[in-house]
Structure 1
Amino acid sequence: MTKLLTAAQMRAIEQAAIEAGQVTGLELMERAGRGVVEAIFEEWPELSKTSGTAVVLCGPGNNGGDGFVVARLLKEWGWEVEVFLYGDPEKLPPDARTNFERWEGKGQVNIRRIDPPTLVDDTFRIPPTTDLIIDGLFGTGLTRPFGGVFSLVTLEPARSLLQKNNVRVVSIDVPSGLCSDSGCILGNVIVADLTVTFHDKKIGHMINDGPASCGMVRTKQIGLKQKKYNQTVQLTSEKGLFPAKYTGDHKYSHGHALILSGGPAKTGAARLAARGALRIGAGLVTLGVPPSAQMEVAAQVTAIMLQRAEDADALAEALKDKRLNAMCLGPGLGLKRARDLVPVALEEGRSTVLDADALTAFADDPATLFEQLHENCVLTPHGGEFARLFPDIAEKLKAIPTKGPAYSKVDATREAAKRAGCVVLFKGADTVIAAPDGRCAINSADYERSAPWLATAGSGDVLAGFITGLLARGFAPMQAAETAAWLHVECARQFGPGLIAEDLPEQLPAVFQSLAK
């Protein structure tokens, strides 16, 4: 899986390379600027075949220094380039100042300095013939909202005009105004068509408002060595996931999952979860249903088995079969039934997924649930369920940030996992998965993995089933959650628009086959 960095981790990597004598700051700035120009021409090859017009917005830090390099390289390519500097060149960091002087020394294009940055400045005009705007204002170093005349570029009228004139906006590292650690917008943000980052993507590219602000994200290597961090956030991918491996010679060697169902007319969600568990490779899947729903379920399932589970005593009797090694409670279960059955399910420490009603049933007393949870559990809340279980954490998450780094979904999920003492999968297009020991992963359904049709009734029930099936097969809770979330998105992408929840499990064979190639 790919690492996602915080701004502090990226600074530490750069500083370590500089202190070790592997590279200078000036060389890193030059490589970054070249990486931006390369990414622009790779994304829009037609721009490399013509002499265009660019406006480069340079900020008061090293991000501005990168901007000066981009300006110089575009000028050498034959472009018309105009540079605007936010602030005082005398106060630029040394490396940025050097690149300011290299650009200034060309004597070909005047730098328009806007200092102090005011809300109105008649010198800041974007020519109507502009092809590119380079946002080199603040990058990962931004810790507070920015104002001044450049903030006008963030407003909707300016965005619409740029789009109408087919002006491409390219941000260096992160769009100015976006917190690179949280994906939160600090006041306002420049919305980019392309964001070029370096070494590794940042957390903020992948969560919250990051995908809507960054356009496309391209990563350019600038010659830095990898550095290990204990608390690095991972981006899920097919690397390190082993969903198609099967061992053993009979069905019980692939595990036996029990999915608890609700009563009549409430069995559909559990059946979706059961189908998901079976398709992902559990050797056997049994639906535990109350007698009143037995005929309804029996008419709908074939490979999935059926067992009566009327109440807590019946569930305890069923669990005497030690071959039942994974359970799922919640989808369509009903709040009273969930409150009665969850304590019994958790007693012996079996791998257990708690979703939907199994979470909401304890909204009035989350501490009671947390006391019963164990390390083999996985909680799968959506935003509303998360807020009901972790109201104080949710309050911090929804607060409008005034400074960075802002509190993020990663922070919230890690805090929730530590409190619950088990893996928490916080659902969304930016699904975040965390373990109590601080391990964390993001499963993104944005950018090239965008699958908006996944927002359909029942898709979360299938995800719960996927996790349960992998737990039955022996996956550890964190790996089961990461793998299931990644496969969930891949199944949606495999099917495409028009998807309904029933389609998701049926895409798994094709996804597995593509992974095996």
Structure 2
Amino acid sequence: MSLPTELLSVEEMYLADRLAIDGGVAGSMLMETAGEGIAIQIQRKWPPGRALVLCGPGNNGGDGYVVARRLQEAGWQIDLASISDPELLKGDAALMRDQWNGPILSLARAEVADIDLVVDAVFGAGFSRYLESDLASFFARIKRELIPVVAVDMPSGVNGDTGAVDAGAIPAAMTVSFFRAKPGHFLYPGRAYCGELKIIDIGIDADYLEEIDPETHLNDPELWRDDLPSLGPEIQKYSRGHAAVVGGGIASTGAARLAARASLRAGAGATTVVSPPSALQTYAAALEAVMVIALSEGQAFEDWLRDKRIGTVLVGPGNGVTERTRKFTSIALESPANVILDADGLTVFRDDPDTLFSLIAEKEHGEVVITPHEAEFERIFSLAGSKLDRARTAASLSGAVVLLKGADTVIATPDGKAVINYNAPPYLATAGSGDVLAGLITGFFSGGMSAFSAASAAAWIHGEAGSMVGPGLIAEDIETVVPSILRKLLDSHKKA
């Protein structure tokens, strides 16, 4: 079963709890259901043995007391330790402490010898400071013994909003969270600490999501499948859009070729590579369905965009940090076309990002997507914070949809909407992979999708293609599996 797409910040999850309680669900029932659900997940994966349950000073610790009781009832031998004075617990957590009928050890008295499983119920998703040295040392002992850990809500030391990780944090074999996942479950480095992620129902009505109105989602086809380009019986190639890919010189033609082919696969009716005259023969010899034109001067490029009614322009892959690249980027942004800026199309503005932002702000027609990796992003924005926060801020500053690449690619809009892409395998870390991604965005854009949907669809399909090809993948392989992925998506849409 796929995960729900909504991702809740820590504050949004607190709101979900409050709405449920205001709606008549007792807080103690939410805690009891959470602990019971965690115990069920544990029993599905591990046979009964001896577990050490570590409880913290808040509601996360309260969940731990329930887990301990439920596992004990199921035949597990339980050691329970609190990192703080358990008498200081309040509210529902204190109630669950009182229902535990075994001893409560201090951290100093807890042992890891002969322990088969550790339940980490110390700190939840709201953790934002640092782990005390005694707890970090205890976690280090667990790591040395290679004892599997089940984390309640979030591994202790991992921030639920940002994915930031304290140096003393302990990786989990499984993390069990409630109602909806948090951004920190999917943003690195936190994602690497969560292990197998389980999201369980604890009695919070999904209708409350309408009031919460989360702005962050997991990138999933249900968000954009309805927007995929569809073909009617009377459609012809130019009604699917004519896209332009600005190509670089003779020494770096591969990037534009990869992007151009991918744009056709993703739905552009026609794609033309705009080549420097010196590289025209190289492009022409290597491309079949993709057309080629030689243009070196800005005015000729501007006239051609207008005369051919080019609807989408990609600038950057293999272009070089040159005056031609800067000029063609400016012309594209001043045209009515949708524009994707990647690689050198961004880097040419590294010393003058305000000019780039002004060009985007002054654009009267069409949308803009920028697709930096972390180094390119730093050259333009120099922002601090989590990847999610930085992408959102960059989108607001630039006026463009920002696709910040990586294993946890974030796509954000200027109005704050964002998705985290989580299906990309490490096989995609290969030369030319990003050029194909830019080409996929171009094709979906050309086919009529919005900037945000085109970028989201391209990132997901790019990741799916990487998984399909698997080990040995090279960039040229990605576009070859795109048709089968699109067929599955469109067929599932018809069945729905």
TM-score bracket, normalised by the shorter chain, equals over 0.9
What SS does the corresponding residue of 2:307 show, helix, strand or coil? coil
What SS does the corresponding residue of 2:154 show, helix, strand or coil? coil
Q: CA deviation at 1:72?
A: 0.3
Confirm or deny that 1:511 pairs with 2:485: yes
Q: CA deviation at 1:231?
A: 4.8
- From 470, 477, 487, the counterpart of 2:461: 487
* 1:132 alignment partner in structure 2: 117
What SS does the corresponding residue of 2:145 show, helix, strand or coil? helix
* 1:52 alignment partner in structure 2: 49
* 1:430 alignment partner in structure 2: 408
Q: CA deviation at 1:230?
A: 4.2
User: Number of residue pairs matched?
Assistant: 477
TM-score by length of 2: 0.93
Q: CA deviation at 1:240?
A: 2.8
TM-score by length of 1: 0.90
Structure 1 pair 360–178 and aligned structure 2 pair: CA distance change class (3 A): same
* 1:73 alignment partner in structure 2: 70
Aligned-residue CA RMSD (Å): 1.5
When structure 1 is superposed on structure 2, of 213-222 and 139-148 the one drifting more is 139-148
The answer on whether the counterparts of 1:252 and 1:323 sit within 8 Å (CA) in structure 2 is no
CA distance in 2 between counterparts of 1:484 and 1:432 reads: 12
* 1:161 alignment partner in structure 2: 145
Confirm or deny that 1:151 pairs with 2:136: yes
Unaligned runs of 5+ in 1: 115-120, 397-406
Q: What amino acid does structure 1 have at the position aligned with 2:135?
A: F
* 1:357 alignment partner in structure 2: 344
CA distance in 2 between counterparts of 1:141 and 1:334 reads: 44
Q: CA deviation at 1:217?
A: 0.7
Q: Give a deviation string over 1:307-338, Cα, whole Å, max 9, x none.
A: 12212122112112353100100000111121
Q: What amino acid does structure 2 have at the position aligned with 1:206?
A: F
Q: CA deviation at 1:40?
A: 1.9
> How do 1:244-393 and structure 2 match up within 5 A?
245-247=230-232, 248-336=234-322, 337-373=324-360, 374=363, 376-391=367-382, 393=383
The answer on whether the counterparts of 1:153 and 1:190 sit within 8 Å (CA) in structure 2 is no
CA distance in 2 between counterparts of 1:424 and 1:310 reads: 29
CA distance in 2 between counterparts of 1:295 and 1:322 reads: 22
> How do 1:133-282 and structure 2 match up within 5 A?
133-155=118-140, 158-162=142-146, 167-226=147-206, 227-228=209-210, 229-242=212-225, 243=228, 245-247=230-232, 248-282=234-268
Q: What amino acid does structure 2 have at the position aligned with 1:41?
A: Q
CA distance in 1 between counterparts of 2:410 and 2:336 reads: 24
* 1:404 alignment partner in structure 2: none
Q: CA deviation at 1:158?
A: 4.0
Confirm or deny that 1:11 pairs with 2:14: yes
Structure 1 pair 450–360 and aligned structure 2 pair: CA distance change class (3 A): closer
The answer on whether the counterparts of 2:229 and 2:448 sit within 8 Å (CA) in structure 1 is no
The answer on whether the counterparts of 1:244 and 1:512 sit within 8 Å (CA) in structure 2 is no
The answer on whether the counterparts of 2:424 and 2:460 sit within 8 Å (CA) in structure 1 is no
What SS does the corresponding residue of 1:34 show, helix, strand or coil? helix
Q: CA deviation at 1:348?
A: 2.0
Confirm or deny that 1:27 pairs with 2:42: no
The answer on whether the counterparts of 2:81 and 2:105 sit within 8 Å (CA) in structure 1 is yes
What SS does the corresponding residue of 1:320 show, helix, strand or coil? helix
CA distance in 2 between counterparts of 1:160 and 1:327 reads: 54
CA distance in 2 between counterparts of 1:376 and 1:206 reads: 28
Q: What amino acid does structure 2 have at the position aligned with 1:505?
A: E
Q: What amino acid does structure 2 have at the position aligned with 1:236?
A: N
What SS does the corresponding residue of 1:239 show, helix, strand or coil? helix
* 2:95 alignment partner in structure 1: 98
When structure 1 is superposed on structure 2, of 364-373 and 86-95 the one drifting more is 86-95
Q: What amino acid does structure 1 have at the position aligned with 2:310?
A: L
Confirm or deny that 1:112 pairs with 2:105: yes
CA distance in 2 between counterparts of 1:462 and 1:112 reads: 56
CA distance in 1 between counterparts of 2:50 and 2:260 reads: 58
When structure 1 is superposed on structure 2, of 482-491 and 141-150 the one drifting more is 141-150
Q: Give a deviation string over 1:321-365, Cα, whole Å, max 9, x none.
A: 353100100000111121121111111231000000010111011
The answer on whether the counterparts of 1:281 and 1:470 sit within 8 Å (CA) in structure 2 is yes
